[in-house]
Amino acid sequence: MRNVTTIFQREILSYFYSPIAYVVISVFLIASGFFFAGNLQFWQEASLKGSLDSIQFFLLLLTPVITMKLFADESKSGTMETLMTSPVTDFDVVFGKFLAALSLYTVMILPTWIYVLFLSIFGNPDFGPIFSSYIGLILMGGLFVSIGLLVSSLTKNQVVAAVIGIVALIILWVVGFLSTYGDGWFYESLRYIGTYDHWSSFTKGIVDTRDVIYYLSFTALLLFITVRNVESRKWR
C-alpha cells in the first residue's frame, strides 16, 4: 500500500507539472459553466439534472485526456523499465495511477459545487438528487478512468490512447440508447452494459445498489485486465 501512495504522489505531481491538469480543468469548467447557465435559463428550476447530463458528455471527452499519458508515456520514454524493475508489484503501479487520475477527475468536478451554491442562494434546490448525482459522478469517473487506463496500457502513443479512450466511452454511452430499439435478452443486456441508464437513476436521487455494483464491478474488472496487460510483457 505504501508503494501505491508513492506512485499516486508522483502521478499527481506530474499532472500539475505538465499543462494537462490546467488545460483539462479549465476546458471542463468553461464548458460546464456554459451549460449550467443555459440549462438554468431554459428550465428555470433550481436543479442540476439538466446541466449534469450535458456535463457528462464533456466527461466522456476529457477523462481519456487525463488518463492518456499514464502508461503510454512510460512505455514510450522507457521509464516502464526502471519502474517495473523496482520492488513494486504490477498492482501497486496500476492502482496508484488509477487513484491519481480519479483524484484529478474529482478535483475537476469539485468546483461545480459553486453552481449548487448559486442555486441555494437564488432558489430552493432539493439536495437529495444533487448529492446522489455527485456520488454517481464519482462512481462513473472510476469507470471512465479505468477504461482510459486500460487503453493507455495498450499503446505507446498518447494521442492514440486518448482517441481510442474517447471512442470507447462514447460507445459505452450510446449502447444504452440502442436498447430502446427492441426487447429481449440482447437489448436488455445492452441496456445493462450502457452507462447512461445507471447514471440517470443517480440524477433522480436514487442510489440503487444495482447501479453502484455495476460501476464498482466494471471498474474492478477493467483494473484487473489492466494489471494483466501490464504483466503480459512477461509472457508475450
The smaller minimum CB distance to other proteins, of residues 91 and 131, is found at 91
The smaller minimum CB distance to other proteins, of residues 13 and 221, is found at 13
Among positions 42, 181, 185, 235, the unique one binding other proteins when judged by CB under 8 A = 235
The smaller minimum CB distance to other proteins, of residues 73 and 211, is found at 73
Query: What mask of x and - would describe binding to other proteins in positions 45 to 84, judged by CB under 8 A?
Result: --------------------------------xxxxxxxx
Q: What DSSP assignment string belongs to the chain?
A: -HHHHHHHHHHHHHHHHSTHHHHHHHHHHHHHHHHHHHHHHHH-SS-SHHHHHHHHHHHHHHHHHHHTHHHHHHHHHTHHHHHHTSS--HHHHHHHHHHHHHHHHHHHHGGGHHHHHHHHHHS---HHHHHHHHHHHHHHHHHHHHHHHHHHHH-S-HHHHHHHHHHHHHHHHHHHHHGGG--SHHHHHHHHH-HHHHHHHHHTT---HHHHHHHHHHHHHHHHHHHHHHHGGGT-
Query: What mask of x and - would describe binding to other proteins in positions 5 to 44, judged by CB under 8 A?
Result: -xx-xx--xx--xx--------------------------
What is the spatial distance between Cα 42 and Cα 56, in angstroms, rounded to a whole number? Answer: 18
Among positions 1, 42, 44, 87, the unique one binding other proteins when judged by CB under 8 A = 87
Nearest approach, Cβ of 166 to other proteins (angstroms)?
24
Asked if 228 touches other proteins (CB under 8 A), the answer is no
Nearest approach, Cβ of 45 to other proteins (angstroms)?
45
* Stretch in the footprint of other proteins (CB under 8 A) among 115-123, 154-162, 171-179, 227-235: 227-235
Among positions 22, 30, 45, 89, the unique one binding other proteins when judged by CB under 8 A = 89
Nearest approach, Cβ of 76 to other proteins (angstroms)?
10
The smaller minimum CB distance to other proteins, of residues 92 and 211, is found at 92
Nearest approach, Cβ of 222 to other proteins (angstroms)?
25
Binding site for other proteins (CB under 8 A): 2-3, 6-7, 9-10, 13-14, 17-18, 77-89, 233-235
